[in-house]
Chain A
Amino acid sequence: MKKPKQKKTSRKKPKAKPKITKAKEILEKVAEPYHVVSELMSRVGVVQELADEIRKNLLNLYVLRGVTQEEVLLKELTRYNEAALKIREFLEPVKEYIPESIYDEMMLTLFKYYVKHELSDRELAAIIDDCVRTYLQSLVDPGEPVGTVAAQSIGEPGTQMTLRTFHFAGVRELNVTLGLPRLIELVDAKRVPETPIMEIHLSEKYKYDEAKAREVARRIELTTLETITRSADIDLSEMRLFIELDPEMVYDKGVTPDEVAKVLSRGKLLAGKVSISEENPYLIIIEIPRSYSDVIKAQKLRDRLLRLKIKGVKDIKKVILQKRKEQDTGKEYYVLITSGSNLDAVLKIDGVDPRKVRTNSIHEIENVLGIEAAREALMREIKNTLNEQGLDVDLRHVMLVADMMTRSGTVRPIGRHGVVGEKPSILARAAFEVTVKNLFDASIKGETDQIVGVTENVIIGQLAPIGTALVELKMNPTKIKTLVKGEER
């Protein structure tokens, strides 16, 4: 995060000095060092992997330290290039042993240190050697019980978590389930989270302006007739329903009485029976159809109408605007936070940046974006829940749990209805939760337990094929005996 910032300031400096010069001149001023450096670099030809870093260094020299003479720059450039070449040469023989990401990182890090501190060949070799060795030694051993370790790594911190369900997570306006209950909810793969929540970023057009952002918010927030109604009375004598709208709410939600009347008359039932009072523009008069002519039925109709959606997205109960600052430009923009989640519908709303919509409902993500996205979301949610409580858990453990839950193509809960329930071993299932039923079902179907898992082997008192017991090559004592005897002869 810090690096781009430095870069920015370094480039901005010349921009700030000549105050009165025209924009074009400023542009030229900024462009000049860049052109000079690029030209030099193209003339010399630099090590491709580190071209960006070298350019950055040269620009720093040019802009910050005011070195403009071509010779000096060229000299530095050659120095950088030689350093880069040397590092590449040193790394060449170990390239095949390390993954690309580490190779790239080594290139960059070593270059930085090299140009700053002049490492000797011996030191360079020793460092590279050590890096490769460290990497090779850090690989997992075959037989490592990674599953158990992952389960322990996520389960153990559970005891340290707070139980308090609600916390203000970033937004003061909304309560979000966090801590242990949220973690349990995630591993259970619950259909709907206890507190569904969305974070919606807006498209360029809408995000910087509060009014425009609010406009999108209104499109998303579910507005029922009830929320904008002040009173709803039934006139039994004339069988009419008077719905008086609350002007404040109507304004706040961005609807007009006309629109409301339109929505109401959309259905077959009330077509042509909805009108707006002439004296009061906020009073809607509905003629109650014949079939609803008795009191109880009319009341039921009223209640049903009140629950009618006027606008917005189903399930989104509340939308809150949040002001944020862009990290690199410092510009303020608006983000929508919603209580309730409906990914499918929100993605289609105009003004929403569909690439930056977030929900905490794993199930919705699975339905809309697919299983891989659901896996990613599971990992993110579990990791965030743990981090929020200040608990460090390596991502690899979380990943394994997410993979286990999503491997069948749908999100399956951890437990008897999911991962455990799908185990092929009868004994493993019986030892977990529904003992008797599993045994009965297995016996009438004549099933066989192959005794390959850990639980089954523990049950019958054998070594489970895990860790050191994974090794199948064993010494045959009788054979040794005959061999020894043969030698004696």
Chain B
Amino acid sequence: MLTEKEIKSIKFGILSPDLIRKMSTTAIVTPDVYDENGMPVKGGVMDPKLGVIEPDQRCETCGNKLALCPGHFGSLELARPVIHIGFVKHIYEILRATCRKCGKLKIPEDEIERYLELLSKLRDRWPQLAESLSEHVKRRATKIYVCPHCGERQYKIRYEKPTTFIEEGPLGKLTPTFIRDWLSRVPDRHLKVMGYDPEISHPAWAVITVLPVPPIAVRPSILLETGIRAEDDLTHKLVDIIRTNERLKEAINVGSPEIIIDDLWDLLQYHITTYIDNEVPGVPPAKRRSGSPLRTLAQRLKGKEGRFRNNLSGKRVDFSARTVISPDPYLSINEVGVPVEVAMNLTVPVRVTLWNIDELRKYVLNGPFKYPGANYIIEPNGRRLDLRYNKDLKAVAEALKPGFIVERHLIDGDIVLFNRQPSLHRMSIMAHVVKVLPGRTFRLHLAVCPPYNADFDGDEMNLHVPQSPEAQAEARMLLLVQEHILSPRYGGPIIGGIQDYISGGYLLSSKATYLTKDRVSDLLASINYEGEIPEPAVLAPKQAWVGKQIISLLLPEDFNFAKEAKISSGALKCRDEECFWDSYVLVKKGKFLMGVIDKNTIGAQQPESMLHYVVMEYGPNFGRQFMDRLFKLFLRFIEMRGFTMTLDDISIPSQAYEEIREVFKRALEDVNKAIKLYEEGKLEVTPGRTLEESLELKILEILSRARDEAGEIAVKYLDPFNNVFIMAKTGARGSALNITQMAAMLGQQSVRGERIHRGYTNRTLPFFKKGDIGPEARGFVVNSFVKGLTPMEMFFHAAGGREGLVDTAVRTSQSGYMQRRLINSLLDVIVEYDGTVRTAYGDLIQFRYGEDGVDPKNTSFGKAVNIDRVVKKHVGWKIE
């Protein structure tokens, strides 16, 4: 939508006493708020002239009702002026820099002239320098003790927190009245040299003589359930101020002694100080009756819950929904399943035209309670019709004419934004296409879990419906999931296969998989494949196909690719196509010839993988489709074949346990030997370490070697192609270490990178002898998860696990703050049309983005053009 009015700039300043009086609708004179009837008192802080609070009232000042009345200021004439706490520092600086008699800046006139000239030159181009020049002038003037204008001798002025100024000379304590006169004596030109703008905010106005009383809308009172009215903190504070002011006025009028007047004056100063800022150091904060400090003006703006961060930088929105998420592999990766209930509450405004009027009539006829319907109609004159309260929907539908706007329910194909907090990168908010589904959760495809960092253990996500056609178009062009498959953090896909997709891909593409015609048909039907079934790979004794043939059907016809698979390691290492182990992936002209699908080919966050090149070379839309179909295929296959993990996969025979025991025994001996050497002082010291540290390092080394050996023994006895190994080797889930811990030995538990040593005096638990520093007494777990842990081992494991939890908790807050600072520092930095990188304020940061002007998103792992890949893309079929 076109913004008709634009705010070009905002000027900050101080209200002058005159202006305060001028904009005041009523003078506030009495501390009373309500009379006996509970009606607001005229001249009190709730004076009706300050604005309406009841819905049907008309404002005494502007005549508007609640929705339109902006509220109006009142004013309070102070009996004696007080200092504004926010400006004390500036007042202090001006007092010190100017003459106590003539009020002029203590610098000769001709030099002031020079400074002014310099300043006007600097102001526009180098505002920062102008500021430091002013600071310099002030500092220079402060050091002068004889006024160059009138020759008056100057005295040092002392500032006493929070609001007292004392001259170390004949005047002594300076009253606000005196300060105000002094400040008004300073010539405007001299103020300008010091960096102030007397026309907008004359420093003399920093001494308050008239206090503006904010409109009631700023400090609404709330009606408690008990019927008692509770006033806002500001109102309370204002009443305090008025009461003190009245007493002060009275005291002056009756000619009370100075001490009493001064006391009251100080009290007024205190109230006004806390009214402005209740957290001034040195001032006891004003408290509520309950004892909690009041939330006054400064507190309303400050901090995370303050106006700025909570209401201005972040705003609450309509057309949004939030619920639990759950997986649905049958969706496309760019779809989101929306519950009907949600779809009936979120609406999209559609302008009625001749072409859609029939369809929209149907929605209106259905009304708000029947899906798919409509909730509101907006007539061209701006009138909003709520269909919930309309009995005659038929008539409304009939009356529909081009130009009306119908707010219809969310339907399949609508575009929405989907988000999961914490929104750490731009992939945390992506556009999805709506698919309305039964149930009460948002459904999403599993492949988009990595960018959102989502799982389904109770995670909730938010959904927003863009309303304007511009926003919808932008979402479709820029924010759709497929546009974010490639991450801008590094050149590679962030969306891709995870867990079962990888296991499934491996099993399907494996050499051992042969498929009958039934199965092939089943698989191809699951992805709605239309076309010929390829020639079977095996003709006799029975027709059979291999998985690679099926996968080939999905690959682009001219696609060439070659890379080592993830499983290519150890005995199964394959470096090129001449390899027996089938762990070198080779695709020529769209035919999957060799190798297996695993994390290196289709995994998420794997740069330079098959998936990466498919998306880069055939575009995001093809990439999306490719993933949808491929993943559905893998899932269908894994469903057909069945895939699980059993106890057998990680159980080893008792013979293996014997061996592991033997390994541990040897390690124990080694450790004891080291300890003995240590006790005799013969242990070899690692340079730069103490003897104790050297021993610890040595023991840790021995023990970790023991665990590795135990792991190797376990692996020896396990079937290398069992379910657990398939998952670990293909990168679907788990690692070799996990297998070791499950089957063989958990190993050393640590806290802060050291063996566990705290607890009781000289021992970790009372089951050990004092001073025992052997493996078991310091948190070494000999057993595996399968075998089960002893109570002591369980305790150590818990200690180690707890550290992990604490670590995560601390880390999130620290990295969160770092990211907030990074974002706030860099958020204005963009690439300009000329290719330079600048801030919004015009400061040049880089002549060319990243020195080569290349967007990392479009690179392959940082390289703008991967020439090798381009060559292989075109002729890979004949050179590999």
Contacts and interface: CB of A to CB of B under 8 A. Distances in A.
A10 interface: no
Contacts of A134: 864-865, 870
Contact of B302 (A143, A147, A320, A436): A436
Contacts of A143: 830-831
A308 interface: no
B823 A155 contact: yes
Nearest to A120: B875
A414 B821 contact: yes
A187 interface: yes
A445 B195 contact: yes
A431 interface: yes
A147 B14 contact: no
A155 B867 CA distance: 31
Nearest to A395: B862
B871 to A, nearest CB: 5
Nearest to A171: B688
B825 A130 contact: no
A261 interface: no
B843 interface: yes
A183 B818 contact: yes
B862 A453 contact: no
A459 interface: yes
A375 B476 CA distance: 39
Interface in B648-705: 686-689, 697
Interface string A386-423: 00000011111101110110010000001100111011
A449 B12 contact: yes
A452 B8 CA distance: 8
B841 A470 contact: no
A48 interface: no
Contacts of A123: 874-875
Interface string A196-230: 00000000000000000000000000000000000
Contacts of A172: 686, 697
B811 to A, nearest CB: 5
15 contacts: A135-B864, A152-B823, A162-B807, A173-B687, A173-B688, A187-B821, A397-B856, A400-B846, A404-B826, A432-B824, A435-B303, A451-B7, A452-B841, A466-B830, A468-B478
A373 interface: no
Interface in B168-205: 195-197, 199-201, 203
Contacts of A462: 3, 6-7
A195 B220 CA distance: 55
Given A152-B823, A440-B86, A451-B9, A431 B871 contact: no
Nearest to A119: B875
Given A174-B688, A444-B201, A452 B840 contact: yes
B487 to A, nearest CB: 8
Contacts of A394: 488-491, 850, 856, 859, 862
A117 B856 CA distance: 32
Interface of B: 2-3, 6-14, 86-87, 90, 127-128, 195-197, 199-201, 203, 206, 277, 298, 301-303, 306, 308-309, 312-313, 315, 422, 424-426, 474, 478, 488-492, 607, 686-689, 697, 752-753, 807, 810-812, 814-816, 818-819, 821-833, 835, 837, 839-841, 843, 845-846, 849-856, 858-859, 861-862, 864-865, 867-868, 870-871, 873-875, 878-879
B827 A454 contact: yes
A113 B688 CA distance: 52
A318 interface: yes
A459 B307 CA distance: 10
B830 A446 contact: no
Contacts of A399: 846, 850-851
Nearest to A322: B687
Given A424-B127, A453-B839, 6 more contacts: A98-B865, A113-B879, A117-B878, A146-B849, A148-B823, A426-B12
B646 to A, nearest CB: 32
A113 B825 CA distance: 47
Interface string A246-272: 000000000000000000000000000
A66 interface: no
Nearest to B849: A140
A454 B840 contact: yes
Nearest to B806: A163
Q: 5 shortest A-B CB distances, which residue pairs?
A: A147-B829, A155-B819, A446-B197, A396-B850, A158-B815
Contact of A156 (B819, B827, B828): B819
Contacts of B308: 430-431, 435, 459
Contacts of B474: 468
A184 B825 CA distance: 14
A124 to B, nearest CB: 9
A320 B688 CA distance: 8
A474 interface: yes
A432 B308 CA distance: 9
Interface string A143-165: 11111111111111111011110
A160 to B, nearest CB: 9
B867 A396 contact: no
B490 A139 contact: no
B496 to A, nearest CB: 15
A436 B278 CA distance: 12
A465 B303 CA distance: 27
Interface string A438-449: 011111111111
B196 A131 contact: no
B844 to A, nearest CB: 8
B811 A440 contact: no
A149 B858 contact: no
A109 B13 CA distance: 65
A180 interface: yes
Contacts of B832: 142
Nearest to B872: A113
A436 B301 contact: yes
A303 B749 CA distance: 43
B12 A448 contact: yes
Contact of A443 (B7, B13, B199, B492): B13
Given A106-B867, A399-B850, A463-B3, A435 B306 contact: yes
Contact of B829 (A142, A404, A441): A404
A140 B197 contact: no
Contact of A147 (B196, B197, B422, B826): B826
A419 B823 CA distance: 11
Contacts of B490: 392-394
A110 interface: yes
A292 interface: no
B612 to A, nearest CB: 13
Contacts of B309: 431
Contacts of A474: 2
Nearest to B873: A130
B681 to A, nearest CB: 15
Contacts of B422: 159
Contact of B815 (A151, A180, A318, A415): A180
A20 interface: no
A345 interface: no
A447 B823 contact: no
Given A131-B867, A147-B829, A424-B127, A443 B298 contact: no
A449 B865 contact: no
Given A127-B875, A151-B827, A397 B841 contact: no
B176 to A, nearest CB: 16
Nearest to A101: B852
Given A146-B829, A425-B841, A138 B855 contact: yes
A477 interface: yes
B874 A155 contact: no
B3 A163 contact: no
Contact of B14 (A187, A396, A443, A458): A443
A266 B185 CA distance: 62
Nearest to A321: B687
B829 A145 contact: yes
A173 B689 contact: yes
A339 B687 CA distance: 13
